[in-house]
Amino acid sequence: MVKTYLPHTWQEALFIRGNDDTMLLAGGTDLMVKYHGGPGIIGNFPKPLLFLSHISSLKTINVQTDSITIGSNVTLNEAAAITALPLILKQAIRQMASPAIRNVGTLIGNVCNASPAGDTLPPLYILDARLTVESLSGTRQIALADFIQGPGKIGLKANEIVRCLTIARQNNTVCFYKKVGMRKAAAISKLSFAAIAQKTDQKITYIAAALGAVGPTIIRSKEAENLLTGKTEILTDTWETMHTIYNSLLCPIDDKRSSTIYRKTIALNLLAYFYKEYLWQ
């Protein structure tokens, strides 16, 4: 049986993390499933476990005028309850998993799991989330899009722990979220789509869209988004270019839940709907 650590302070946690090759456990809702052994059986965890659950400083939620900072122990439900939290992220959280899992699973845990189907990821990508990562040697900030390197792969060193996540507060006039799963609750996404935009006098001042579960990591194209910045409508040529861009980026797989062709077709449907219709309503 692997060693376990239950630190009560952040410093203690950093120290342990710097001195042993550990696996971090916050809520545990992913890890306990991944390594579950069965009734009466303790799961076979591959590394010593570092429990973060009892570090109260990780529960901090900091709402500033232009940003929100969320600590690593903030659960999905606690995050969704932040009044100022952008609607796009709230919508994604509310349709995730189940109430009991959202009471325990953490926002940052979902990020660090880096599943291609991670539901909080498309909204966090378009909100340009940044993570604060600490070790005994210091602190650094990293953009989410750089932090997630592949399915289940994150840019976190063995001596580092994610402290918190920061997103900008937004004045989105347009917000569109769609999760496609096998049923309406407790479903792993076949694909998901999150998009936001800001308009001033009918002109688009900011636009961002991201797709989940249609590639090894979240699909987002700033190149496509830039084609609409400053515009008051979408021209056929523009859409054709955008379609080509996204078509080449989308690379979903066939698995037990769905098929490549379904995921790709529906992803393009949702992009078309958002960019051609919803955005201009």
Partner 1 sequence: MNNTNIGIRVNKVDNQEKTSGSAKYIADLKFDNMLYGKTIRSTKARAKIQAIHYPVLPKEYFIIDHNDVPGQNRVKFLVNDQPFLAETMVNYIGEPILLIVGPNRQKLKELANKITIEYQPLAAALTYTESLQCTGGAIFGTDNKFASYAYEKGDVSLAFSQAKTIETDEYTTGYQKHAYLENQGMIAVPEADDKVTVYGSMQCPYYIKRALEQALALPEEKVRIVQTTTGGAFGGKEDYPSILAGHAAIAAKKVGRPVAILYDRLEDMASTTRRHPAQITFQTALDESGKIIGMKIDVILDGGAYAGISDVVLQRSLFNITGVYHIQNLEVHGCVVATNTIPNGAFRGFGAPQAFFAMEMHMEMLAKKLQKNPLDYKKLHIVKQGDTTATSGLFLDKVPLPEMLETIEKMSDYTKRYELYQKNRNHHGIGISLFLHGCGFTGSGERDIIKARIKLRRQANSKQVEILAANVDMGQGLKTTFKKIVAGALAIPMTDISFNNPDTDQVPDSGPTVASRSIMIVGKLLEDASRKLKARWQEKGAIEITQAYKQPERMHWDSEKSRGDAYPAYAWGINVVEATVDPLTLQVDVNGVWTVFDIGQAIDEQIIQGQIEGGVLQGLGYANMEVMTNDKSGKIMQDNLTSYTIPTMVDFGKVNHKLFTTYYNDGPFGAKGAGELTLIGAAPAYAAAVAQALKIHIDRLPVTPEYLLEVLQNENHFLYAK
Partner 2 sequence: MKTISFTLNNQPVSIQTNLQKRLVDVLRENFALTGVKEGCGEGECGACAVLANHKLINSCITPIGSVEQLDIMSIEGFRDTERYHILAAAFAEAGAVQCGFCTPGMLLAAEALLHVNASPNEPEIRQALSGNLCRCTGYSMIVDAVKIAAKNGDGLW
* Contacting residues toward partner 1, per CB under 8 A: 33, 37-42, 178, 180, 182-188, 243, 256-259, 261-262, 265-266, 268-270, 272-273
Q: Which does 273 bind (CB under 5 to 8 A by kind): partner 2, partner 1, none?
A: partner 1
Q: How far is the CB of 63 from partner 2 (least distance, A)?
A: 22
Does residue 51 belong to the site contacting partner 2 (CB under 8 A)?
Answer: yes
Q: Which residue has tokens 């919508």?
A: 91
Site string for partner 2, 84-123 (x = CB under 8 A): -------------xxxxx-xx-------------------
Per 3-state DSSP, the chain is made up of helix, strand and coil in percentages (nearest 5) of 35, 25, 40
In our burial notation (b when 16+ CB lie closer than 10 A, e otherwise), range 122-132 reads bbbbbbebbbb
Encoding tokens for residue 147?
A: 């932090």
Residues 195, 92 contacting (CB under 8 angstroms)? no
Of these, 13, 14, 49, 55, which contacts partner 2 (CB under 8 A)? Answer: 49
Determine how many CB atoms are found less than 10 A away from the CB of residue 76: 26
Nearest residue (CB) to partner 1, 15 versus 273 = 273
Site string for partner 2, 18-47 (x = CB under 8 A): -------x-xxx--xx--x-xxx-xx-x--
In 3-state terms, what secondary structure has residue 201? coil
Q: How far is the CB of 186 from partner 1 (least distance, A)?
A: 6
Calculated CA dihedral for residues 29, 33, 36, 39, nearest 10 degrees = 80
Q: Which does 178 bind (CB under 5 to 8 A by kind): partner 2, partner 1, none?
A: partner 1
Residues 23, 31 contacting (CB under 8 angstroms)? yes
Residues 218, 210 contacting (CB under 8 angstroms)? yes
**Site of interaction with partner 2 (CB under 8 A):** 1-2, 4, 6, 25, 27-29, 32-33, 36, 38-40, 42-43, 45, 49, 51, 53-54, 77, 97-101, 103-104, 184-186
